[in-house]
Structure 1
Amino acid sequence: MDNSKRPTIANVYRGTFIHSTQQTALQILEDELLGVDTDGKIAFTGRGVELDRLSQTFGFSPNEVIQLAQHEFFMPGLVDTHIHACQYSYAGTALDMPLLQWLETYTFPVESHFKDLQFAHKVYSQVVKRTLRNGTTTACYFASLHTDASLLLGQIANNFGQRALVGKVCMDRNDSVKHYKETNQESQEETCRFIAELLKKKYPLVRPVVTPRFAVSCTEALLGQLGAIAKNNNLHIQSHISENLEEIKLVKEMFPDSESYTDVYLKHNLLTDKTVMAHGCYLSDEELVVFRETGASLAHCPNSNISMCSGMLNVRNVLNHNVKLGLGTDVAGGYSASMLDAVRRALDTSKVLTIQNPEYETLSFQEVFRLATLGGSQALSLDDQTGNFEVGKDFDALRVNVAAPGGPIDLLQGEDPKTILEKFLNLGDDRNIAEVFVAGRKVVPFTEPATE
């Protein structure tokens, strides 16, 4: 290698690395070397026996290699494709009614408090810290209607080092809580201000995402304007689709000229290869074809779907249609901010579908591991930057210690790496996540005092 083109190596790790590739749901690399350069990118990978050659090629000392312990492994950071940061304050409560009544009774009144920036700072600091501790290196956030509070969420994610898409929610139709909505003009202007001010900050890992709350809360005019704003700025788009039957019926009544819920978004240029739609429990095969053709993706939020009795997404059918799919926590409709919970609930949902239909092909833990990592990065169109340990991508990673003292996992019989991963996915929690890296920077444990 030409020394003038050789990256400067910041850290080299040796041990077990577990990730997914496009071809393989689970790839286990034992006694692997991985080098991270000073830009936080993966500079090389190789076998442990190649240490001397790699150290000469990339100019690092073998004595500086960081060795993982026997019961440790690296895995890619978890990707939460759908989470409402402003609902975190009541996560774990208020799960006693279906979606539309839940929004009116709990969500809109709480979200209206985010005009208070002190309150917003308190909640947003906690949700970013909590998700990072739980291994979420990338989060796609819904904020509230409030531009300044949404900008604050972007600042907090940047300060703590989380990769984030942040959306100021747009809604110009809300009959249930009169004071929690915008005019069409306000929504347009404030969305444009939010985008301009967030981009002006030049945060390396935080980007704006155009966010119509869902079709029910937006006029056709606003949906069309938001589609144009996203196109003109080449931005991501996020919203909700086909979450529960009552909502779908309402969309049909409100948009009689559209063939389906999907068609509402398609007509307004809101389905692109940078769109992620949450839920999709009741999408028809024809609608899934539209998703595949437009490159739009789905965020599967199984905890929320179960907790609010919304429905169950047939993930196998989505994957068979070659639609991009990631997992989401959907706090606070989902009660847990941990992506490990999303993994478990995704497996549970798949097994319930198998109970209902014994011929259903149940998801494996390996497949759901991929959905939580590489699948999520693909769903957010960030897989050129993150999602696995391919050379050239950012080093977004969790250092997992399955034998953490006082942790929830007991190892009793010399488990192999595949078994150790399965135990972590089913039993582990933040006590097992020793370190979290985003773009090569160690963001957990937090440095004290934490920068906010």
Structure 2
Amino acid sequence: MRARLHLLKKIKTCEFFMPGMVDTRIHASQYSYTGTALDLPLLEWLNTYTFPVEAKYKDLGFANNVYTKVVRRTVKNSPTTACYFATMHTDASLLLGELADKFGQRALVGKVCMDSNSAVPQYKESPSECKEETDPFIKELLKKGDCNGPTDEKLEIFRETGSAISHCPNSNISICSGMLNVRNVLNHKVKLGLGTDVAGGYSPSMLDAMRRTLDTSKTLTIQDPQHKTLSFEEVFRLATLGGSEALSLDDQIGNFVVGKDFDALRVNVCVPDGPIDLFPGEGPKVILEKFLNLGDNRNITEVYVAGRRVVPFPDT
């Protein structure tokens, strides 16, 4: 605590601490082709790009190279979790389960449902037709899922079962799978966090996830003027506390409540040659909004995970 107070005293008016952002969905094994290969529907995309690349991970040199880079790229934005596609039952997915058992909830393994209707052609019923309360496959997927266009009935099932949704707007747009009505999800009191969904999404940045969540919400308002657009404050909550709630980690991280782990970003909006300009009279709310809309990794000067500074990275 004394060290933390010392840091706070040193902070200038254009610097602040904020809770660490929580990426609720990222596929580390897909990172090598992030930003490319977004020309196909989901299942064709998996067969053409994902599965052949995943086969390369038997080469430990290749695996070490990719995972070193993905960790360095993502840790500056948030602690992240491991996820795998629901229809895959490979040695890799089994290994993730072993890691989750070994390291506890900080190494969660997620399941994916209803990315798009084409994702489950091997089942007799599409996600829009199946009966979640009786279908054991879908009932299992509801434990953690990502879905587009859930009906009010399905959202009630999500709420009743304590299930969570990972909203990944970049990948939803990139692979043309739809636009989630986050407002409707929140109205049903379903837990929801944001994710990058690399490499279906082409950006590993949670700042990008927040911006595209706002863009999606505004697009829905264009389509339906009765739709209430999300505010940047609501999206900020989804990227922090919302993500921790979706992963059942809200008793440990997500905000600065006393007793939780100190997961935090130190943000400097006045970093030299940075992307943000400040002007007289701008208060904390305006400064935060400017960072969320204009900022990038140059503005994130330090990252703390459970009280330990992990950025800047050590030289070794």
Normalising to structure 1: TM-score of the pair?
Answer: 0.65
Question: What is residue 107 of structure 1 aligned with on the other side?
Answer: 50
Structure 1 residue 246 corresponds to structure 2 residue 118: yes
Equivalent pairs: percent with the same residue? 57
Structure 1 residue 11 corresponds to structure 2 residue 11: no
| CA-to-aligned-CA distance 1:102-155 (integer Å, 9 cap, x gap) | 11111111111111121111111111110112x21x2122269xxxxxxxxxxx
Choose the corresponding residue for 1:436, options 293, 297, 303.
303
Partners in 2 of 1:261 and 1:389 — Cα distance?
37
Question: What is residue 214 of structure 2 aligned with on the other side?
Answer: 347
Question: What is residue 360 of structure 1 aligned with on the other side?
Answer: 227
Partners in 1 of 2:248 and 2:229 — Cα distance?
26
- SS at structure 2 position matched to 1:277: coil
* Structure 2 gap segments, 5+ residues each: none
Seen in structure 2, the aligned counterparts of structure 1 residues 435 and 263 have a Cα distance that, compared at 3 Å, is: farther
Structure 1 residue 277 corresponds to structure 2 residue 194: no
Question: What is residue 163 of structure 1 aligned with on the other side?
Answer: none
Q: Counterparts in 2 of 1:41-56, with a 5 A limit?
A: none
Is contact 2:172-2:179 (8 Å) kept? yes
Partners in 2 of 1:265 and 1:349 — Cα distance?
32
* Structure 1 gap segments, 5+ residues each: 1-8, 14-62, 145-168, 173-181, 210-237
Choose the corresponding residue for 1:307, options 174, 178, 181.
174
Seen in structure 2, the aligned counterparts of structure 1 residues 412 and 263 have a Cα distance that, compared at 3 Å, is: farther
Amino acid at match of 2:153: E
Partners in 2 of 1:338 and 1:372 — Cα distance?
11
Is contact 1:86-1:143 (8 Å) kept? no
Amino acid at match of 1:437: Y
Seen in structure 2, the aligned counterparts of structure 1 residues 194 and 241 have a Cα distance that, compared at 3 Å, is: closer
Q: Counterparts in 2 of 1:142-221, with a 5 A limit?
A: 142=83, 171-172=88-89, 182=90, 191=94, 195-196=97-98, 199-200=101-102, 203=103, 206-209=106-109
- SS at structure 1 position matched to 2:286: helix
Partners in 1 of 2:200 and 2:99 — Cα distance?
30
Amino acid at match of 1:128: V
Compute the displacement of 1:65 (Å): 6.0
| CA-to-aligned-CA distance 1:304-349 (integer Å, 9 cap, x gap) | 0011111000001111111000000000010000000000000000
Partners in 1 of 2:105 and 2:9 — Cα distance?
26
Is contact 2:171-2:197 (8 Å) kept? yes
Equivalent pairs, count: 315
Partners in 1 of 2:206 and 2:7 — Cα distance?
33
Is contact 1:85-1:143 (8 Å) kept? no
| CA-to-aligned-CA distance 1:373-396 (integer Å, 9 cap, x gap) | 000000000000000000000000
Amino acid at match of 2:145: M
Compute the displacement of 1:10 (Å): 4.7
Is contact 1:84-1:331 (8 Å) kept? yes
Partners in 2 of 1:84 and 1:401 — Cα distance?
29
Structure 1 residue 259 corresponds to structure 2 residue 126: no
Amino acid at match of 1:392: G
Normalising to structure 2: TM-score of the pair?
Answer: 0.91
| CA-to-aligned-CA distance 1:15-72 (integer Å, 9 cap, x gap) | xxxxxxxxxxxxxxxxxxxxxxxxxxxxxxxxxxxxxxxxxxxxxxxx7864311101
- SS at structure 2 position matched to 1:101: helix
Partners in 1 of 2:13 and 2:105 — Cα distance?
32
Partners in 2 of 1:333 and 1:314 — Cα distance?
19
| CA-to-aligned-CA distance 1:64-118 (integer Å, 9 cap, x gap) | 8643111011110000000000011000001111111111111111111111121
Seen in structure 2, the aligned counterparts of structure 1 residues 170 and 354 have a Cα distance that, compared at 3 Å, is: closer
Question: What is residue 326 of structure 1 aligned with on the other side?
Answer: 193
Is contact 1:83-1:328 (8 Å) kept? yes
Q: Counterparts in 2 of 1:358-397, with a 5 A limit?
A: 358-397=225-264
Relative to total residues, which structure has the larger strand share, 1 or 2? 1
Choose the corresponding residue for 2:80, options 134, 139, 145.
139
Seen in structure 2, the aligned counterparts of structure 1 residues 205 and 405 have a Cα distance that, compared at 3 Å, is: farther
Amino acid at match of 1:259: C
